[in-house]
Amino acid sequence: MADPEIIEKTPITITELKAELKSIKKRDEELSFRGNRTEEYVNMFASLSQKDVKELKKKIQELDIPRLKDEHIAKLIDVIPASVPELKIVLQGYTLTVSNENLDKIFKVMQGFLKK
């Protein structure tokens, strides 16, 4: 069996995964068992369009919040917390401290995408 080499690790959102699965399905004509199960999952939980995800990701990155990495941003976009306390809870899963001021900034940016 082939020994794959990992070239790069990049965190992606559920919406980006949905687009990747779509391109794989188009290329291979059908997905594997795991691919089908993953497709079912992302179809249930992907709430934003790809355009909205790119826009939101860019806006959060432009806030230039210290120690906030792409993996944190991807998780925030997947969950889209409805309040600042929920935002805090999502970020508690990581060894990351974000000031209340920065949490408010993030939430204000995300509020525009809650209704979509």
Q: Does residue 9 sit within a domain? A: no
pLDDT at site 115: 66
Q: Does residue 94 sit within a domain? A: yes
Q: Indicate whether this model's pTM tops 0.75.
A: yes
**82-105 as b/e, with b when 16 or more CB fall inside 10 Å?**
eeeeebeeebeeeeeebeeebbeb
Q: Does residue 93 sit within a domain? A: yes
For residues 39 and 62, membership in a common domain is answered with no
Q: Does residue 61 sit within a domain? A: yes
Instruction: State the total domains in the chain.
Output: 2
The per-residue pLDDT string of the chain (116 residues; one tens digit each, 9 = 90 and over) reads 678 898 999 999 999 999 999 999 999 989 899 999 999 999 998 888 999 999 999 999 999 999 999 999 999 999 999 999 999 999 998 888 899 999 999 999 999 888 65
Q: Does residue 107 sit within a domain? A: yes
How far, in Å, CA of 97 to CA of 92, rounded? 8
Query: Which domain does 23 fall in, by range?
Result: 14-45
For residues 18 and 63, membership in a common domain is answered with no
